[in-house]
Amino acid sequence: MKVTLRVWRQSGSDSSGEFKEYPAEVIEDMSFLEVLDVINEDLTAKGEEPIAFEHDCREGICGSCGAMVNGRAHGPGDRSALCQVHMRQFQHGDMIVVEPWRAEAFPVLKDLVVDRSAFDDVIQAGGYISVRTGSAPDANALPIGKPTSDEAFNYAACIGCGACVAACPNASASLFTAAKVSHLNGLPQGQVERAARTVRMVQVMDESGFGGCTNHGECAAVCPKGIPLKAIARMNRDLVFAKVTGADSDAAAK
């Protein structure tokens, strides 16, 4: 079948960009990124610069890929990263608009590639349990109920792709931050640093240029891993708790 991709091209962070159209002959079994491969192969043969886009594992787990496809983060798939979208989800003759994530905290580097290092800053602020290598007790010394463990896993499944930010009208990173907060704060191992972790991660999230959460829920709707919105409620609850108990001043001291 024939489709046309209308792709955002921008040569660097400081340059202005524009849409360019690329017709492509595709088959249904192709993944969306393979269509970009085919277009790029063609551009290369013509001596033009290929479309820059991030990708790596191509099985929906590394979180590298992502773009707005027809206005939706990661395109039409349900719980899919862009690499998991196949052309059988489109029709012959479709015009498909492809844009990079748009958020102040994710500046465009080139074409569809954006800088998501603000996510790393948020994790570095407290998205971990402090345990020195070699100092852990036996793994079965602390039983953890299966529901607790399963819930932690569901939050921990976040792939850090940035779709939640791109889909949010406020470009908020609340779902991303809350997923890590909820993963660690829900486990018994995570209790010691619970208050400080929440305060510091939220603080860095706010400082990084992400907007605030106003409960639109777009983030959870496009999340490839189905991280639920209640993660944000949990984060806010722990934040309030930290403020009320004065743990936020302890966190600031760190």
Phi-psi region of 158 (alpha: psi -120 to 50; beta: other; left: phi over 0): beta
Least distance in angstroms from the C-beta of 233 to another protein: 20
Work out the burial of residue 206: count CB atoms within 10 Å of its CB; fewer than 13 is exposed, 13-18 middle, 19 or more buried: middle
- Comparing CB distances to another protein, the nearer of 49 and 212 is 49
Least distance in angstroms from the C-beta of 174 to another protein: 19
For the chain, the distance separating the N- and C-terminal CA atoms, rounded to the nearest angstrom, is 58
- Quote the distance between the C-alpha of residue 60 and its chain's center: 11
Least distance in angstroms from the C-beta of 214 to another protein: 27
- Comparing CB distances to another protein, the nearer of 93 and 145 is 145
Distance between CA atoms of 201 and 152, rounded to whole angstroms?
18
Least distance in angstroms from the C-beta of 70 to another protein: 19
Distance between CA atoms of 71 and 57, rounded to whole angstroms?
24
Distance between CA atoms of 110 and 133, rounded to whole angstroms?
39
- Comparing CB distances to another protein, the nearer of 57 and 252 is 57
- Comparing CB distances to another protein, the nearer of 139 and 253 is 139
